[in-house]
Structure 1
């Protein structure tokens, strides 16, 4: 069976003179797979006639057509299809109270569509996209499973669902005022409790337009928690939050699930391991179709995701596995120092930063961990020369490539024009094409306007541009932001490979423990009072650095026996107590 997907935004029949139709082979009495209703219209693809030859895909100059082969039996289980030649979703997870169910998979595979269906915002059409809002059909289709009663209660108003949306950065566009005013408008008698639980006191009297991404995220979570509901759906609750806040959110959600139905979409695998009781993996072809597997235990699901192979489904979702290695307790010393810095100090009106002296070796990657508002980005900017320290200095000034934390698209043109303008003849460099642009799927963005890119697309573009720059040291601030789990792991591998092959060095700031673990040779840990004072420790070897960082959080990690990935121990479990007693917060085997 072949699924034909036509991207209406990319299709320009007037500009290409209907090339896809002219090169489409005729089948069944001369009827073509691709036809045009009239001379000016976009094409219509007849999937029943498609033989999957791929000629139309190769002939389309705008990459508007995608032909995907899938097992024929999937066609009997379509849950929702957006329209002709459009994305379709197969199967749904089963939800029940007393446990946290999670969705894990690549972006554009239908996770947000699933959340909209489960919240009642979107009524599934089972592939019949011409029929709208047939709720009786939904109840009938799921009548033999627990989801039949779920949808019956949801549609009849017996149960109320609350959805915490993924796009928290859009909140200032739809509401205005101070945080406290917005919360009071949604107060259900638990305002003080929710504010205390989320530690929001410092932002209560700030205007919503002045909030950071993390503060907007906590506001969105607070508004969801304040509503009296039976079903709570959290779409990417950890975005913009530091590791301390992510742990706090996970504990709140787990407590909520004791009496409520709770589902989470999350890309931080360490957090997902802590928060979820069961995980439904999602696989498919981004933008074409998504399949939700049956639930698996958290450990089994994450291990299958990292291996890239779903054994029960006999499906490979990634050509290679993602492997973790236990790092040496000694810092790399086989290469020479390329730059160093003496004690750096910087004072602002309400904040001061003290950075201890340190150095970075050639071909070394230093990870940077710490809470938000402790000066990590200021440190990166001092190394890059963007900010001058009040005292201390950075020695051996080198060519620096800097990827900032917040990316502002200020280029008026397409992604291709941005790369050709910035990189010029280096666009044809085979290493850059094969090791950076290709793995980050940047070529599929070439025709898009830079100002129209999503957060994840903009992040991939920025990382690719930074790594393609000829420099001695690469300063990369939060490369995992807006990326799904697969891309996060991929970015870590790409950065690692580029540094090794080009014999370069990098300093990477991020809140994703998995990414830092995969990428780093050494660590710098920031501590202090958020927004008041920050200071650094390190660089240190990985074992010392992780123990320092996790001790401050009060949590311990163990290594998964099969994949060697880091896993958070349950608080006060036997292993948690044992590791704390030994002072081994991270590398206990």
Structure 2
């Protein structure tokens, strides 16, 4: 066994006059750790730093091959067997590309590792017929790796990336578990898989034609049922290239659900969907499990995840470095455990603080604390008209706007931002607005840092570093090309740029799309700090009920006929706005007794009927 230098010095130290060892360390006192070293290849730039990690490594100075150079990539290779874990290379690296992590002994046997100094996954969820299994955890923690393994796209190497095991060894590794039979069938090609991708906005790039051509071309006796449930009959004749984000999402869910398979995987199925559409998606996904299929869902909207899943697995660790799959839990217990940030059975705390939900929204500003006022507004297009009631925006408040897709929320945001001008009415007081659009472009050819230099006025300032750079974890993507960012990374960048501008009102259109739960919480806190620190306000368009409940002071309800006419109410107290909106949708929510988070009531249940009779669609006042 190789000891760290501090122990080796003590063990090997000898008295000049005696041959015995002065110090003896009992074996029982030696704590065994599994150490992994991670190198971010995107951030590592040896040409600029001239291998400072090698220069300062104590092991290299002792003529050990602790850090060597890969002949092909010219990147450093860190030996985890020789690394003492001193942390000097992590501190000296100017690009923060190195992470050295000590893992508990319990994490000795990984399911998969991508390569030397690359991501490592510990554990894998069991797949059972007739259940929807949800995965919840940060982005970059291994959820996609899990699905690639279960779909047969990636064979688990059990940590041995140099000499990967064959199917017999893999099956033997999982003997005695439900996964043994699953991998036996998978190895023989007896399991078919359907995958609904995350980035549905890219579908038009490789799928052409009309919606009806896509869906009716799938041999299924459930076509009409799925089309009606997802309410997409009206867009069947439209070209896929002309669909909105929400419409693309619904079509993608339909196309996946109509195909015949054993295992269905849905990656973030509620992004860009409004509340009603999210519940429709839940019905379709649940119907697959009820038909005896195995379903796995990655979802960051906790209300939707709660409604669609039977069980959940929490994933924790360090994004981009390693991920650990927790034990299976019932959906309510699992989500509440995630909110608390502590896994009691595993004795692991993965978040410092519990997420807290307030039963009553904060009070709005006092009379006189007015940021802006607008008269009744009207904007007409050839096929759509929007009418907005007169309203007031107060200083230091967050107003959320919610309603069906295609009802005019984005149009109203553009009117406030000055991008669109109303046909009737006006904003009484001219205010400076920073606007983040709903759909984001990744066509920029430079890096994230270059993009920030060009678009974020406060980039480089101490305020930007403390209030935006750190909360949004932008340091880890600074050297990445904007065109290569994931959906979540692109969203974080867009929200950060919008908040970096000096403004009276920050208008953010769907800022939570593709963000994980932790990032949504981070975004909510960052928005609150910035508007309070700059004496400004924010208007947020979003569909995540839990995020809305967490961040809102007041809310606006948009109603009408999507794509034809829309009506926006004046900003009002959150609970009143939610009751009005959910009353139209026909959905009721309750508060979880332990965490106070909003939960969807099962349609037709006792609580659902009781709340509808009382007109309390959001939650009962006694809760």
What TM bracket, shorter-length normalisation?
Answer: over 0.9
* CA deviation map 1:190-249 (0-9, x unaligned): 333332232222222222222222222222222221222222221211112111111011
**1:334 deviation in Å?**
5.2
Partner SS, residue 386 of structure 1: coil
Unaligned stretches of 5+ in structure 1? none
Q: Is 1:339 aligned to 2:372, yes or no?
A: yes
Counterpart contact for 2:591–2:619, Cα < 8 Å: yes
Aligned Cα root-mean-square deviation (Å): 2.1
Q: Distance in 1 between matches of 2:509 and 2:70?
A: 50
Structure 1 residues 266-415: aligned runs within 5 Å: 266-328=299-361, 332-333=365-366, 336-409=369-442, 411-415=444-448
Q: CA deviation digits over 1:132-167, x for unaligned, max 9?
A: 582222222222111111222233344433222223
Deviation of the 1:281 alpha carbon: 0.1
Query: What are the residue-to-residue correspondences of 1:69-84 with 2, within 5 Å?
Result: 69-76=102-109, 78-84=110-116
The structure-2 alpha-carbon separation of the partners of 1:230 and 1:411, relative to structure 1 and needing over 3 Å to count, comes to closer
- Tell which structure's C-alpha radius of gyration is larger: 2
Q: Which residue of 1 aligns with 2:83?
A: 50
- CA 524–37 in structure 1, closer or farther in 2 if over 3 Å, else same: closer
Hey, what does 1:484 align to over in structure 2?
516
1:318-360 Cα shifts (integer Å, max 9, x gaps)? 2222211112597554552221111111111111111111111
2:268 and 2:514 in contact (8 A); partners too: no
Partners of 1:348 and 1:19 lie apart in 2 by: 60
Q: What aligned pairs does 1:135-534 form with structure 2 within 5 A after superposition?
A: 135-258=167-290, 259-328=292-361, 332-333=365-366, 336-409=369-442, 411-423=444-456, 426-534=458-566
Decide which of 578, 581, 590 is 1:546's aligned counterpart: 578
Q: Alpha-carbon deviation of 1:297?
A: 1.8
Corresponding residue for 1:62? 95
1:560 maps onto 2:592 in alignment: yes
Partner of 2:38: 5
TM (norm. structure 1) is 0.95
CA contact (8 A) 2:400 2:540 kept: yes
Given that 2:365 and 2:395 are in contact with CA atoms closer than 8 Å, whether structure 1 keeps it comes out as no
- Residue number in structure 1 paired with 2:602: 570
Deviation at 1:189, TM superposition (A): 3.9
Q: Which moved more, 1:408-417 or 1:438-447?
A: 408-417
1:188 to partner: Cα distance: 3.1
SS of the equivalent of 1:113 reads helix
Residues 13, 40 of structure 1: 8 Å contact kept? no
Contact 1:274–1:568 under 8 Å retained in 2: yes
Contact map agreement 1:21 1:32 (CA 8 A) in 2: no
Cα distance in structure 2, aligned partners of 1:549 and 1:567: 16
Instruction: Give, in whole Å, the separation in 1 of the partners of 2:363 and 2:64.
Output: 68
Q: Give the Å deviation of 1:71.
A: 1.1
Aligned equivalent of 1:122: 154
CA contact (8 A) 2:411 2:420 kept: yes
Post-superposition shift, 1:118? 1.4
Structure 2 CA distance for aligned equivalents of residues 133 and 236 of structure 1: 32
Q: Tell whether 2:51 aligns with 1:18.
A: yes
For 1:15 and 1:465, the matched residues in 2 are separated by 27
Alpha-carbon deviation of 1:412? 4.2
TM-score (structure 2 length as normaliser): 0.90
| Contact kept? 1:525, 1:549, Cα under 8 Å | yes
Instruction: Indicate if the aligned counterparts of 2:361 and 2:552 stay in contact, CA closer than 8 A.
Output: no
Q: Check 1:504–1:4 CA distance in 2 against 1; reply closer, same or farther (3 A cut).
A: same
**Greater shift in the superposed pair: 124-133 or 391-400:** 124-133
Equivalent residue of 1:394, what SS?
A: coil
For the residue of structure 2 that corresponds to 1:169, the secondary structure is helix
SS of residue paired to 2:324: strand
Q: Give the 3 Å change call, closer, same or farther, for CA 191–133 of structure 1 in structure 2.
A: farther
C-alpha distance in 2 between matches for 1:422 and 1:38: 38
SS at match of 1:44: strand
Contact 2:401 2:542 in 1 (8 A): yes
Distance 1:465 1:528 in 2: 33
The Cα shift of 1:80 comes to: 0.9
Counterparts of 1:241 and 1:380, CA distance in 2: 18
Measure how far apart 1:309 and its partner are: 2.1
- Given that residues 34 and 45 in structure 1 are in contact (C-alpha distance below 8 angstroms), is that contact kept between their aligned partners in structure 2? yes
Q: CA deviation at 1:392?
A: 0.8
